[in-house]
């Protein structure tokens, strides 16, 4: 009989605090809000502590808060996820922000009755937060790719035009240089003194040597 009474006592102690939280949340704009409601059968409890645990192993504490009627102490332990809390006598709200796709996981609310003794705690079934990749990122990537391709085309066109202009300029320069040298040579010949030409030898004719013919 005594063991059965002990089991009943343990069961009652486990049900001192009951925690309820939503099973699934879709993160929007990199943020999500988990609403954890709880009931505590021990009306003498004055100080509570709530923690948000990440992962199936529940070994990563994202943030925590302990409060009573006069004070409210907040601790943020996982710096890569922003966390804000709101508390009252029957619920705790965890507002998460700066979420990314890598933060998709299960998050568990843990409620503890700290003071006065005896100590009690309970955990919810967990909330799966699904963080979707924002559509504007994909659109922004497409826009950036299109802009990069456009700039590359413009750059190639500019290089081609510049190369063609340089080629035409070099060819025209090569054509002008021989013509200029020719003009310089003609002017030098015209200005130079004339040389004495040798007297021309008259052409011989066969009639001179045919005087003996009848």
pLDDT at 42: 87
* pTM, to two decimals: 0.58
* Region of residue 44 (left: phi > 0; alpha: psi -120 to 50; beta: else): alpha
The beta-carbon contacts of 80-88 under 8 Å, at least 24 apart in sequence, are 83/52, 85/50, 87/48, 87/50
DSSP of 121-182: EEE---EEEEEPPPHHHHHHHHHHHHHHHHHHHHHHHHHHHHHHHHHHHHHHHHHHHHHHHH
Rounded to whole angstroms, the Cα distance separating 104 from 80 reads 13
Strand 47-54 and strand 60-67: pairing? antiparallel
- The position carrying tokens 């030098």 is 188
How many CA atoms lie within 13 Å of 67's alpha carbon, on the beta-carbon side?
Answer: 17
Whole-number pLDDT of residue 8: 37
Q: What's the token pair of residue 176?
A: 């002008």
The pLDDT of residue 4:
37
Q: Please say whether the beta carbons of 14 and 42 come within 8 A.
A: no
Q: What is the chain's pLDDT, residue by residue, as a tens digit (214 residues)? A: 444 344 434 444 457 999 999 999 999 889 999 999 999 998 888 999 999 999 999 989 999 999 987 888 888 776 689 999 999 889 999 999 999 999 999 999 999 999 999 999 999 999 999 998 877 555 555 556 677 787 878 877 677 778 777 777 777 766 665 555 545 555 545 555 555 555 555 555 555 545 445 5
* DSSP, res 87: E
């Amino acid at each position: 009989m005594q063991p059965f009474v002990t089991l009943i006592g343990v069961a009652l102690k486990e049900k001192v605090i009951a925690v309820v939280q939503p099973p699934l949340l879709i993160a929007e704009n990199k943020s999500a809000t988990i609403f954890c409601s709880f009931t505590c059968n021990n009306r003498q409890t004055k100080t509570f502590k709530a923690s948000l645990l990440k992962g199936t192993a529940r070994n990563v504490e994202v943030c925590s808060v302990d409060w009573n009627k006069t004070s409210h102490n907040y601790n943020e332990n996982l710096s890569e996820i922003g966390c804000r809390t709101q508390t009252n006598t029957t619920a705790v709200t965890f507002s998460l922000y700066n979420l990314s796709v890598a933060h998709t996981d299960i998050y568990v609310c843990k409620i503890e009755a700290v003071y006065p003794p005896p100590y009690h705690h309970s955990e919810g079934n967990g909330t799966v937060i699904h963080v979707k990749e924002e559509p504007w990122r994909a659109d922004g990537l497409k826009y950036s790719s299109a802009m990069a391709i456009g700039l590359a085309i413009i750059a190639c066109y500019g290089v081609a035009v510049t190369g063609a202009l340089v080629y035409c300029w070099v060819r025209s320069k090569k054509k002008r240089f021989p013509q200029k040298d020719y003009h310089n040579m003609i002017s030098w010949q015209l200005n130079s003194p004339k040389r004495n030409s040798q007297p021309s030898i008259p052409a011989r004719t066969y009639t001179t040597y045919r005087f003996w013919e009848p």
